[in-house]
Chain A
Amino acid sequence: MEWVFFGLFGVLALVGSVGVVVSRNAVHSALFLLVNFAATALLFLVLGAQFLALAQVLVYAGAIVVLFIFVVMLVGNETVDDFVARERPWLRWAAVGFFLVFIAVAGYSLVMSGWEAAKGLADYGAVERVGAVLYREYLLPFELASVILLAAMIGAIILAARTRPPLGRPEE
């Protein structure tokens, strides 16, 4: 039963991600991304990770895709002008080739070597579990991530919102 759902949502996720790359229209790409995010959330559910599934829907499918669509609407340039592919058409085939080689290598090595099974904790997807791991075991990376957000905030202000003082010494 589990495998049926896995197969279904897995294929859905793949279709979504291929659609993101193949679409010429940026809005379509964003919508395909939504399909991919939703399918990934469902995969998390199949794994029994309810909290991750919820976060995936809220953060990615909700906030990020909406942001993408906003930007596409604001910029207004909805169809992608693929100028690189026009000048160097072989690049596209090279990319497809690299992709196939990568899939072959990764797939072969996955099949050949197998992987460690996920630790079978009953409620590892629950909020308490995630919280405990996040704030105890992974305290340092978690706090570092907040420093990254601080840097990103400074960056957004610097690059987008600053008004330039006149050249030379600022008035005192």
Chain B
Amino acid sequence: MTLQDFMPILPEMVLLATAVAVLMVDTFLGDKRWLTWVGLVGVLLAGAATYWLALQPPADFQDMAASDAYTAFFRLVILVVTGLGLLMAMNWLEAHGEQQGEYNALLLLAAIGMTLMAAATHMLTLFVALELFSLCLYILAGFERERASSGEAALKYLLLGAFSSALFLYGIALVYAATGALTFAGIAQKASLSPLFLAGVGLLIVGFGFKVAAVPFHMWTPDVYQGAPTPVTAYMSVATKAAAFAAFVRLFVGTLGVEKSAWVPALAALAVLTMVVGNLAALSQHSLKRMLAYSSIAHAGYVLVGLAAANTTGTAAVLFYLLVYAFMNLGAFAVVIALERQGEGDVTLSQMRGLARTHPLLAAAMAIFMFSLTGVPPFAGFFGKLYLFQAAVQANLTWLAVIGVISSAVSAYYYLNVLVQIYMADPETPPTLAWRPVLGLATLVAVVFVVGIGLFPDFWLQLALGGMRVILG
């Protein structure tokens, strides 16, 4: 092996080196805030490596992981999310007196697993990458040891996550038994509708369903999202979805695309359940984090619509939506972090009252995120949903698009209710802010992208289509 052979996984190697560097620098640095900037430099370098790789012809690492336009798209999404995740956590960690070095290192290690999920072209790489980022997130969920609910979140996530990993692994084993192959290319060649193969594919769907929080595999989501430290919830809600859907699309639409008829009905049913249950459950929440947890379940449902469509537009829409969702959901969580009171780990709806009067800028940012999550034009979320539902209509799944539109109309109620509290209610007690410049910077970046993607959706859609062509040929 020469050095050249390692180039396809260069961004991951940069991230690993950064994580180790963060841990080492941590031991002799007085001001721990610098660790965030060390991590950020690593993320930027990994981004530069990704860009450089995108200019090269596609390559792969020993048939284990591919570096192509599709991988590049998800690498960029995950690196941006990781960068914002580092920034959003910086002030929070400082205020809570938590270990910054370990936090940043774990976030970077999780990012390695996530980008490799998108790159994986072999079942073993896929599984090990899945375990890597899951393990980092289990630890991060329990990071705030002083708060019991954080530990509860970590334990629930660990137990249910381990259970779902076992099912996923069983699925891999059955698919291997049916096809005798572990590489995606080999599986695609031998794919057939034998009962053994179908049982394996079913278990794979269950495993992915757990990770993306699709109903009925969503039970862990509200508790874990509410209990975990808010910066972790923010990262988890967008990055896990992007990584899991990246592998989901490559494996199902790409590899198992020939046997589409076998899994499309199952995914369509999952999509309906996920959209309806997620949106209905979100209606009655008082905790902002819990509401956003159910909302993230609903958004997984929208993405599943694009996956069930299983055509070029549908899967490009999935990529586009995951990018958009990353910015709008991270932004909403940044506002939650800003409003969170020390040691409570959560924000209730009534705490939002009268925010517009005391902090008009923050209120305006929250308004943009809520409008975008609802899908109001001209924000990015509107185009995301538009492309997804369009693809469903093209794939003769009009009924699925109709259910999607109706359930996203329901979602307007709880998103806009937040704005009603912010703009129209009188404050009981003036909202206290943990508002710091770095968190503000992260929020600003999110606002710029939510508005910017909304104004110029074509550029980003073309990028997603470029990634899709790799998958669908």
Contacts and interface: CB of A to CB of B under 8 A. Distances in A.
Contacts of B128: 141, 144-145, 148
Interface in A120-159: 137-141, 144-145, 147-148, 150-152, 154-155, 157-159
Nearest to B195: A109
B194 A113 contact: yes
B99 interface: yes
B436 to A, nearest CB: 13
A89 interface: no
Q: Is the interface of B mostly helix, strand, loop or mixed?
A: helix
Nearest to B1: A139
A172 interface: yes
B23 interface: yes
A140 B125 contact: yes
The interface size bin for chain B is 35 or more
Contacts of B139: 151, 154-155, 158-159
A159 B97 contact: no
Contact of B124 (A138, A154, A166, A168): A138
Contacts of A76: none
Contact of B132 (A108, A151, A154, A158): A151
Interface of A: prevailing SS:
helix
A116 interface: yes
A108 B174 CA distance: 12
Contact of B97 (A145, A147, A164): A164
Interface stretch (B80-88, B176-184, B282-290, B465-473): B176-184
A170 to B, nearest CB: 6
B14 to A, nearest CB: 13
B366 interface: no
B31 interface: yes
A112 interface: yes
B196 A162 contact: no
A113 B196 contact: yes
A116 B62 contact: no
A105 B199 contact: yes
Nearest to B135: A151
A148 B132 contact: yes
A88 interface: no
A169 interface: yes
B36 to A, nearest CB: 14
Contact of B178 (A105, A115, A137): A115
Contacts of A74: none
Contacts of A150: 109
Interface in B2-40: 9, 16, 23, 30-32
A28 to B, nearest CB: 22
A170 B97 CA distance: 8
Contact of A148 (B94, B105, B135, B198): B135
B145 interface: yes
A112 B195 contact: yes
B9 A140 contact: yes
A14 interface: no
B106 interface: yes
B178 to A, nearest CB: 6
B333 interface: no
A139 B61 CA distance: 10
Nearest to A109: B195
B416 to A, nearest CB: 37
Contacts of A147: 16, 109, 112, 132
B135 A152 contact: yes
A106 B174 contact: yes
A95 interface: no
A158 B143 contact: yes
Interface string B124-141: 110111011001101100
19 contacts: A105-B195, A105-B199, A109-B199, A112-B194, A116-B180, A140-B65, A141-B124, A141-B125, A141-B127, A144-B116, A145-B128, A147-B112, A151-B139, A155-B106, A159-B145, A159-B154, A162-B99, A164-B97, A169-B94
Interface of B: 9, 16, 23, 30-32, 61-62, 64-65, 94, 96-97, 99, 102, 105-106, 109-110, 112-113, 116, 122, 124-125, 127-129, 131-132, 135-136, 138-139, 142-143, 145-146, 154, 174, 177-180, 194-199
The 9 closest A-B pairs by CB, nearest first: A116-B180, A109-B195, A155-B139, A113-B194, A172-B30, A109-B196, A113-B196, A115-B177, A140-B64
Given A109-B199, A141-B122, A144-B125, 18 more contacts: A109-B174, A109-B194, A112-B195, A113-B197, A116-B177, A140-B65, A144-B128, A144-B132, A151-B135, A155-B106, A155-B135, A158-B139, A158-B143, A159-B142, A159-B154, A162-B99, A167-B97, A172-B30
